[in-house]
């Protein structure tokens, strides 16, 4: 049906504008603005749908990550096509130089030096080769590679990678530094955490003689990598010093890469002018990996450890450890250690014990999936609309109700609930739960209370 694309309001849109609207309702706003807003569609005589984009990099990335969504949009908007291709076309819009040209320029740069707040600078295992790509991190990985190959000569400056704990932000920052050093794509590299930055500035205040070395360390760098910038929150003096360094490096086209546990404009106590400069760069998130990516991560780690584990154990650990990669690898380490001291070796039973799934055969009957099905049925919508990235009213309220009931009726965390709702952030779940709780306490929300009570009646029969 064309309910999404062909409303009375959109009747005057071109076919591609209708497709863009369809896509905009299903991806984050930052993703749409970055990859789709400046695209155009040209239909060739042979029926081929040619999506025109600003440069080859954009063409490759969109083809790798959004082909399925674009085909879906074309079909929904009744655009008949025999094939789909992506074509870089230089127009009046601002065009980024192709990476091949950028890479050629960096050959003349000096051999890099590494400077860091950490002894040894980079963790040897944190490279691009050891980073496992999946749907949840593909865009962040692509941007990181682009930055590493041509620091300061790309559209990702500053590049800000954000996401929850243990999802690979530090790994990507360090991989950028590793690559820049190994391939000599930049001169001096500085990797430092926000805590180390704060400590070094505090030390400078106590020892003015250190002032030259403190500022020189950052002002002379060509690639600055700062981890966990959320810890600059409410530190006014530190933010001022950071901004001086940040601003100077950007003016000189030096590359800056930052990581945060949330979008920069969500960091409490961060100065407005800093947020504004961050918004002028590229902000990309890393989401918790899906089960296929988690299995790939486990297999890669097992291979590096020289072990052989049964597929059923790897699958069980991947299916029952959803929060982050760090926890996933922690469970794997415990599993290998425990199995090595067991007479039975690597078995599924040990995996179940470590994942908290005691071998009683009793599973939680009321799952997130069942609750989503009950809520969707009660509101007369499809279950997929609860996880779709759309802000339409007919989906937002049922989604919030479903999140509220999942939190109330299951033992799942906010993070794992968010995963089942299209990979949403745990803070989205918290906000939804609080909203429904407040609405249920409102005397004017009798209809909502009746609806929730009706759904809970169904859930009692299932539990």
pLDDT (average), residues 362-368: 63
Report whether 97 contacts 171 (CB < 8 A).
Answer: no
**Pick the residue with more confidence: 110 or 420?**
420
Banded model confidence at residue 8, pLDDT cuts 50, 70, 90: very low
Domain 105-286: homologous superfamily in CATH: P-loop containing nucleotide triphosphate hydrolases (3.40.50.300)
What does the pLDDT read at residue 119? 33
What pLDDT is recorded for position 318? Answer: 83
pLDDT reading at 28 higher than 80:
no
* Highest mean pLDDT: which range of 6-15, 220-229, 302-311, 341-350: 220-229
> For residue 20, what pLDDT is reported?
92
State which of 175-179, 313-317, 338-342 shows the largest mean pLDDT.
175-179
Please say if the pLDDT value at position 2 is more than 60. no
What CATH architecture applies to the domain 15-88? 2-Layer Sandwich (3.30)
Is pLDDT above 60 for 10?
no
Look up the CATH superfamily of 368-462.
DnaA protein, C-terminal DNA-binding domain (1.10.1750.10)
CATH topology of domain 291-354: Helicase, Ruva Protein; domain 3 (1.10.8)
pLDDT bracket for residue 59 (50, 70, 90): confident
Give me the pLDDT at residue 68, please.
86
Q: What local confidence, expressed as pLDDT, does residue 281 receive?
A: 87
CA distance 125 to 452: 49
- pTM > 0.75: no
> 362 pLDDT band (50/70/90 cuts)?
very low
Are 397 and 367 a contacting pair, CB within 8 Å?
Answer: no
Instruction: Taking residues 162-166, report their average pLDDT.
Output: 85
Model confidence pLDDT, tens digit, residues 231-282: 898 888 888 889 888 988 988 889 999 999 888 888 888 888 888 888 888 8
What's the pLDDT at 224? 94
Q: What is the pLDDT of residue 217?
A: 79
Is pLDDT larger for residue 378 or for residue 8?
Answer: 378
Across 305-330, average pLDDT: 80
For 71-124, write each residue's pLDDT tens digit.
999 999 999 998 899 888 754 333 333 333 333 343 333 334 444 443 336 788
Q: Which residue has the higher pLDDT, 304 or 354?
A: 304
Residues present in the chain in total: 463
Nearest partner of 326 among 160, 169, 119, judged by Cα: 169
3-state secondary structure the chain: CCCCCCCCCCCCCCHHHHHHHHHHCCCCHHHHHHHCCCCEEEECCCCEEEEEECCHHHHHHHHHHHHHHHHHHHHHCCCCCCEEEEEECCCCCCCCCCHHHHHHHHHHCCCCEEEECCCCCCCCCCCCCCCCCCCCCHHHHHHHHHHHHCCCCCCCCCEEEEECCCCCHHHHHHHHHHHHHHCCCCCEEEEEEHHHHHHHHHHHHHCHHHHHHHHHHHHCCCEEEEECHHHHCCCHHHHHHHHHHHHHHHHCCCEEEEEECCCHHHCCCCCHHHHHHHHCCEEEEECCCCHHHHHHHHHHHHHHHCCCCCHHHHHHHHHHCCCCHHHHHHHHHHHHHHHHCCCCCCCHHHHHHHCCCCCCCCCCCCCHHHHHHHHHHHHCCCCHHHHCCCCCHHHHHHHHHHHHHHHHHCCCCHHHHHHHCCCCCHHHHHHHHHHHHHHHCCCCCHHHHHHHHHHHHHHHHHC
pLDDT at site 339: 65
- What local confidence, expressed as pLDDT, does residue 455 receive? 92
Query: What integer pLDDT is reported at residue 399 of this predicted model?
Result: 94
The pLDDT of residue 313:
82
Mean pLDDT value across residues 30-40: 77
The dihedral sign for the CA sequence 334, 336, 337, 343? positive
Per-residue model confidence as pLDDT tens digits over 173-213 = 999 999 998 888 888 899 998 888 888 888 777 775 555 56
Residue-range domain boundaries for the chain: 15-88, 105-286, 291-354, 368-462
Which of 3-7, 415-419, 439-443 is the least confident region?
A: 3-7
pLDDT of res. 51: 93
**pLDDT of the residue at 91:** 46
Specify the higher pLDDT residue, 388 or 209: 388
């Amino acid at each position: 049906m064309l309910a999404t694309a062909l409303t009375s309001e959109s009747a005057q849109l071109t076919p591609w504008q209708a497709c863009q609207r369809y896509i905009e309702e299903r991806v984050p706003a930052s993703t749409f603005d970055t990859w789709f807003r400046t695209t155009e569609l040209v239909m060739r005589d042979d029926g081929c749908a040619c999506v025109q984009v600003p440069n080859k990099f954009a063409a490759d990335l969109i083809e790798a990550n959004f082909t399925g969504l674009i085909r879906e949009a074309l079909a929904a908007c009744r655009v008949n096509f025999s094939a789909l291709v992506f074509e870089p076309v230089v127009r009046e819009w601002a065009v980024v130089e192709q990476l091949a040209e950028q890479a050629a320029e960096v050959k003349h740069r000096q051999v890099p030096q590494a400077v860091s707040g950490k002894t040894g600078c980079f963790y040897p295992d944190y490279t691009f080769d050891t980073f496992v790509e999946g749907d949840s991190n593909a865009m962040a990985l692509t941007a990181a590679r682009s930055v590493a190959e041509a620091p300061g000569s790309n559209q990702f400056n500053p590049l800000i990678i954000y996401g929850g704990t243990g999802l690979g932000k530090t790994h990507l920052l360090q991989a950028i530094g590793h690559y820049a050093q190994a391939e000599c794509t930049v001169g001096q590299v500085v990797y430092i955490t926000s805590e180390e930055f704060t400590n070094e500035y505090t030390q400078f205040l106590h020892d003015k003689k250190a002032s030259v070395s403190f500022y020189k360390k950052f002002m002379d760098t060509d690639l600055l990598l700062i981890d966990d910038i959320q810890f600059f929150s409410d530190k006014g003096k530190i933010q001022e010093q950071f901004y001086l360094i940040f601003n100077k490096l950007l003016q000189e086209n030096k590359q800056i890469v930052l990581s945060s546990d949330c979008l920069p404009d969500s960091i409490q106590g961060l100065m407005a002018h800093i947020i504004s400069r961050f918004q002028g760069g590229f902000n990309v998130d890393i989401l918790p990996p899906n089960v296929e990516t988690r299995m790939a991560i486990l297999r890669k780690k097992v291979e590096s450890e020289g072990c052989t584990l049964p597929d059923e154990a790897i699958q069980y650990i991947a299916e029952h450890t959803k929060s982050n990669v760090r926890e996933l690898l922690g469970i794997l380490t415990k599993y290998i250690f425990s199995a090595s001291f067991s007479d039975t070796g690597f078995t599924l039973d040990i995996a179940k014990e470590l994942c908290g799934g005691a071998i009683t055969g009793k599973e939680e009957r009321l799952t997130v999936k069942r609750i989503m099905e009950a809520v969707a049925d009660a509101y007369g919508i499809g279950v997929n609309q609860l996880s779709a990235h759309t802000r339409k009213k007919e989906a937002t309220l049922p989604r919030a109700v479903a999140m509220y009931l999942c939190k109330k009726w299951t033992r799942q965390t906010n993070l794992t609930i968010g995963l089942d709702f299209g990979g949403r952030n745990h803070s989205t779940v918290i906000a939804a739960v609080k909203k429904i709780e407040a609405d249920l306490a409102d005397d004017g929300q009798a209809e909502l209370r009746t609806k929730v009570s009706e759904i809970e009646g169904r859930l009692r029969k299932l539990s």
